[in-house]
């Protein structure tokens, strides 16, 4: 198929998106077929996909393969971070599909015996160890709705999520390794549950560090498993297609994270199809996605997508630069990785060390490379294409978000090879009506910047009952109100003359720091909870490696002194109260924040000051502030920041 043929085909798939997705859904195994492909739910813009259909995600990922020739095919190759004196990994674990099936069944039994039942909620706070996907699959098997909380998050962030979801059980680990350091995870979990209704904590032994176990509340997983027979089977629940598989919290433009619900059936269909189109996944492939399962990329493309596809998946515990920057290339060589899915930030970081660390290792198995999470700059794209992929592999930048469930805009090497362009996301995938529009929803002219929207419902979109956990009204407002009646992604984008989409970044107060999604309001509320802080405003400034980093403007309460020591104190506070990923790259102390007469913080002024730029064009000022007012605030702030800050 060439690009014009694809566009014609694509048009038919969006015009009859219902028929198209119905056809795709037939590629899965259903316990009961659906009665209707898509229906309106109880709340505005919440759609129910494959209504009446029943299936089970754990069945699709495991049982199917365990009963086929894939039974003894390796599902996961897991590599721990620590290495011996020669730089060889100290622990490698491999699970065949049959072994994974067995483990997950026993784990499901453990959760049942702890009292969990279909519709209950559980929270998972685990590092990148095999027990993480196993726990997700075991809970999916019995219909328990789970939320995975990134293991780099603080106790506060964990508690917020546990409480919002109403989780009764928390699964965590004693500790894990990160850039050579042992992190005591259980300690953070203990602190978090103090302010929750968690009744039981299941603890995986990973690092062997000393942890406190509370009698009657805390259980070692290996103790719970001891009496469960090796061959115990827990039949997968036959779940409605609309049954929530999980809730994943993501940052928005208020202090409170949004709990995005993903259903079972629609989500499974989108993942199954994108594994073919985007990754062209084949049975002989070894697939390596470098994300953390704590984020949506890991949910969809380390766990459910590739397992449904029956792939062999490499899962790595640690950071790409431990013990050296060769680690990922060693992994690619060691396991003969064919399909590699990574992030622009990591690529930019590794690029700095030149081509030698890459070239020392055999990458001849690589076939397809994609990145995700933030725009990829042409230089990083070229490095992936020329150095890592030796000009043999298509390199893409897959666009999607927590809310979309799976990839929606991408090069599609599994369908056809369109000409590559460094930095673009490519064309919308089949069945997805993505468009760049103005505020009124009219398609923007090619080359014009606009908002990226999705104009038709798609399987994998936020699911029933409320789209956003317990917040149907917020769901409607955030995604469906800005551009009337279509899904507003919050991203700026440009469509070029070939129809390729180029996502430029967020159009709202959400930052992408090393690909991690962080709301400026979230950080501001952390800062103002510190005893010394009266007011705070956070903006993102461009960063060569991380894409963007937060800079905070802080007004101190009287009696407190700004300066280096206070800045260090506040950075430590953010690290502990939110997580290291959000640590500001700078803290500037000012006597007051520039605001419009109506009290809105002039973020544009702050951004200009923080990035050392100028105010730029003021003719299209979106604030209600007068031009003079903005200029004046800018100059004043500049002076103040130069003086002290």
Contact stretch for ligand WTA (CB under 6 A) within 8-16, 323-331, 371-379, 614-622: 371-379
Residues 6+ apart with CB under 8 A from 462: 46, 260, 261, 262, 403, 405, 468, 475, 479
Question: Per-residue string for binding with ligand WTA, 347-366, x by CB under 6 A?
Answer: --------------------
Q: Toward ligand WTA, which CB reaches closer, 80 or 519?
A: 519
Instruction: Pull the structure tokens for residue 25.
Output: 């859904």
509 lies in the site for ligand WTA, by CB under 6 A: no
Asked if 76 and 133 touch (Cβ cutoff 8 Å), the reply is: yes
Name the residue among 219, 173, 170, 220 with its Cα closest to residue 194.
170
Closest CB 373 distance from ligand WTA, rounded Å: 5
Stretch that binds ligand WTA, among 52-60, 113-121, 504-512, 612-620 (CB under 6 A): 504-512
What whole-number distance in Å separates Cα of residue 76 and Cα of residue 74?
A: 6
466 touching ligand WTA, by CB under 6 A: no
Distance of closest approach, residue 326 Cβ to ligand WTA, in angstroms: 26
Q: Total number of residues binding ligand WTA (CB under 6 A)? A: 23
Q: Does 513 bind ligand WTA (CB under 6 A)?
A: no
Contact 483, 451 (CB under 8 A): yes
Q: Which is nearer to ligand WTA, 206 or 258 (CB)?
A: 258
First and final CA of the chain: distance in angstroms? 58
Complex with ligand WTA: residue 148 or 590, whichever CB lies closer: 148
Query: Contacting ligand WTA (CB under 6 A), which of 491, 509, 522, 623?
Result: 491
Q: DSSP E strands: which ranges in 376-479?
A: 395-398, 409-410, 427-428, 434-437, 449-454
Whole-number Å distance between alpha carbons of 252 and 462: 15
- Alpha helices by DSSP H, 501-563: 520-528
The least distance separating ligand WTA from the CB of residue 365, rounded to whole angstroms, comes to 24
* All residues at 6 or more sequence positions from 306 whose CB lies less than 8 Å from its CB, including other chains: 275, 279, 281, 287, 289, 313
According to CB under 6 A, which one of 148, 461, 503, 605 is a site residue for ligand WTA? Answer: 503
Closest approach, Cβ 219 to ligand WTA, in A, equals 32
Is the Cβ of residue 224 or residue 513 nearer to ligand WTA in the bound state?
513
Which of 49/488 has CB closer to ligand WTA?
488
Residue 376, CB-side half-sphere exposure with 13 Å CA sphere: 34
Asked whether position 157 contacts ligand WTA by CB under 6 A, the answer is no
What does the alpha-carbon distance between residue 550 and residue 518 come to, in Å, rounded to a whole number? 9
**Percent helix, strand and coil across the chain, each rounded to 5?**
35, 25, 40
| Dmax (CA) of the chain | 75
Indicate the length of the chain as a whole number: 645
User: Which region, judged by CB under 6 A, interacts with ligand WTA, from 200-208, 266-274, 281-289, 503-511?
Assistant: 503-511
Q: How far is the CB of 538 from ligand WTA (least distance, A)?
A: 17
Nearest approach, Cβ of residue 440 and ligand WTA (Å) = 21
- Considering only 178, 474, 495, 506, the residue that binds ligand WTA (CB under 6 A) is 506
Selected from 374, 435, 522, 524, the binder of ligand WTA by CB under 6 A is 374
**According to CB under 6 A, which one of 61, 247, 270, 401 is a site residue for ligand WTA?**
401
| Binds ligand WTA by CB under 6 A, chosen from 489, 520, 577, 633 | 489
Sign for the pseudo-dihedral over CA of 81, 82, 83, 87: positive
> Quick check: 65 binds ligand WTA (CB under 6 A)?
no
CA dist 497 → 2, 421, 444, 446, 448 (Å): 16, 13, 12, 6, 10
Task: Give the DSSP per-residue string, 335-363.
Answer: HT--EEEE-HHHHHHHHTT-SHHHHTS--
Residue 454 binds ligand WTA, judged by CB under 6 A: no
The rounded distance, in Å, linking the Cα atoms of 447 and 426 is 14
> Strands 54-55 and 169-173: what pairing?
unpaired
Residue 312: its H or E element: strand 312-316
Distance CA 257, CA 277 (A): 32
Nearest to 188 by CA among 524, 604, 580: 580
373 sits near ligand WTA (criterion: CB under 6 A): yes
Q: For residues 54 and 40, is the Cβ–Cβ distance under 8 A?
A: no
Nearest approach in angstroms of CB 167 to ligand WTA is 21
Query: Is 32 strand, coil or helix?
Result: strand
DSSP summary character for residue 151 = T
The tokens for 297 are 């990329």
Smallest separation (angstroms) from ligand WTA to the CB of 20: 23
Q: Which is nearer to ligand WTA, 147 or 489 (CB)?
A: 489
What CA–CA distance (Å, rounded) separates 144 from 119? 5
Determine the interface stretch with ligand WTA among 21-29, 218-226, 501-509, 583-591 (rule: CB under 6 A). 501-509
Which residue lies nearer to ligand WTA by CB, 80 or 294? 294
Q: Which is nearer to ligand WTA, 318 or 423 (CB)?
A: 423
Interface with ligand WTA, residue 342, by CB under 6 A: no
Min dist CB 510 to ligand WTA, Å, is 7
Within 402-441, which residues bind ligand WTA (CB under 6 A)?
402, 425
- Measured from the CB atom, the residue of 20 and 267 that comes closer to ligand WTA is 267
Which of 125, 400, 488, 589 binds ligand WTA (CB under 6 A)? It is 400
Number of continuous H segments (helices) and E segments (strands) in the chain: 21, 31
Under the criterion CB under 6 A, does residue 303 sit at the interface with ligand WTA? no
Which stretch in 169-177, 272-280, 436-444, 502-510 sits in contact with ligand WTA by CB under 6 A?
502-510
- Stretch binding ligand WTA (CB under 6 A), from 32-40, 329-337, 396-404, 562-570: 396-404
Near ligand WTA in 107-146, by CB under 6 A: none
What is the nearest approach in angstroms of ligand WTA to the Cβ of residue 294?
11
DSSP letter, residue 165: H
CB of 108 to ligand WTA, least distance (A): 28
Pick from 30, 125, 399, 500 the residue near ligand WTA by CB under 6 A.
399
Q: Which of residues 236-295 bind ligand WTA (CB under 6 A)?
A: 250, 295
3-state secondary structure of 554: strand
Stretch of residues binding ligand WTA (CB under 6 A), selected from 79-87, 224-232, 400-408, 610-618: 400-408
Report the interface residues with ligand WTA, using CB under 6 A.
Answer: 250, 295-297, 372-375, 397-402, 425, 489-491, 503, 505-506, 512, 517
């Amino acid at each position: 198929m060439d690009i014009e043929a694809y566009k014609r085909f694509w048009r038919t798939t969006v015009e009859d998106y219902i028929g198209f997705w119905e056809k795709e859904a037939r590629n899965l195994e259903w316990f009961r077929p659906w009665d209707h492909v898509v229906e309106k739910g109880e709340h505005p813009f919440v759609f129910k996909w494959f209504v009446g259909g029943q299936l089970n995600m754990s069945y699709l990922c495991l049982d199917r393969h365990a009963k086929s020739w894939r039974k003894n095919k390796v599902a996961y190759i897991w590599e721990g971070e620590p290495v011996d004196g020669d730089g060889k990994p100290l622990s490698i674990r491999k699970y065949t599909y049959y072994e994974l099936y067995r483990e997950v069944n026993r784990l499901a039994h453990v959760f049942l015996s702890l009292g969990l039942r279909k519709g209950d909620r559980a929270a998972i706070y685990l590092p990148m160890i095999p027990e993480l996907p196993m726990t997700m699959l075991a809970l999916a098997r019995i219909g328990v709705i789970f939320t995975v909380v990134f293991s780099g998050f603080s106790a506060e962030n964990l508690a917020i999520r546990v409480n919002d979801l109403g989780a009764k059980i928390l699964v965590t680990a004693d500790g894990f390794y990160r850039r050579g350091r042992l992190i005591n995870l259980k300690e953070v979990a203990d602190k978090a549950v103090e302010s929750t209704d968690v009744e039981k904590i299941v603890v995986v032994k990973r690092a062997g560090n000393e942890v406190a176990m509370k009698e009657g509340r805390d259980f070692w997983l290996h103790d719970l498993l001891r009496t469960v027979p090796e061959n115990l089977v827990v039949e997968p629940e036959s779940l409605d297609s609309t049954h929530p598989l999980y809730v994943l919290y993501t940052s928005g433009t208020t202090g409170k994270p949004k709990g995005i619900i993903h259903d079972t059936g629609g989500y499974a269909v989108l993942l199954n199809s994108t594994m073919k189109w985007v990754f062209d996944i084949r049975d002989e492939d070894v697939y390596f996605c470098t994300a953390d399962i704590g984020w949506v990329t890991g949910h969809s493309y380390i766990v459910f997508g590739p397992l449904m596809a029956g792939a062999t998946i490499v899962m790595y515990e640690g950071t790409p630069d431990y013990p050296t920057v060769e680690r990922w290339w060693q992994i690619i060589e060691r396991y003969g990785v064919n399909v590699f899915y990574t992030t622009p930030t990591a690529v930019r970081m590794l690029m700095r060390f030149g081509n030698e660390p890459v070239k020392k290792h055999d990458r001849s198995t690589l076939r397809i490379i994609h990145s995700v999470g933030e725009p990829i700059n042409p230089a990083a794209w070229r490095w992936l294409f020329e150095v890592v992929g030796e000009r043999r592999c298509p390199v893409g930048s897959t666009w999607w978000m927590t809310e979309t469930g799976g990839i929606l805009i991408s090069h599609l090497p599994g369908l056809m090879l369109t000409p590559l362009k460094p930095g673009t996301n490519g064309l919308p995938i089949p069945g997805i009506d993505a468009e760049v529009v103005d505020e009124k929803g009219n398609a923007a002219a090619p080359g014009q910047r606009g908002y990226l929207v999705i104009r038709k419902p798609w399987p994998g979109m936020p699911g029933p009952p409320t789209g956003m956990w317990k917040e149907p009204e917020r769901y409607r407002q955030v995604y469906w109100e800005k551009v009337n009646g279509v899904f507003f992604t919050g991203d700026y984008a440009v469509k070029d003359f070939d129809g390729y989409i180029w996502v430029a970044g967020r159009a709202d107060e959400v930052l992408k720091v090393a690909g991690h999604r962080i709301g400026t309001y979230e950080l501001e509320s952390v800062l103002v909870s510190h005893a010394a802080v009266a007011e705070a405003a956070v903006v993102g400034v461009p960063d060569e490696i991380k894409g963007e980093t937060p800079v905070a403007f802080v007004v101190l309460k009287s009696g407190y002194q700004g300066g280096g020591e206070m800045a260090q104190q506040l950075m430590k506070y953010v690290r502990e109260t939110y997580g290291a990923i959000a640590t500001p790259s700078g803290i500037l102390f000012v006597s007051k924040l520039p605001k419009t007469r109506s009290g809105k913080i002039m973020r544009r002024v702050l951004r200009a000051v923080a990035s050392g730029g100028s105010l730029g064009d003021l003719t299209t000022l979106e604030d209600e502030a007068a031009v003079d007012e903005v200029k004046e605030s800018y100059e004043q702030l500049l002076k103040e920041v130069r003086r002290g800050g």
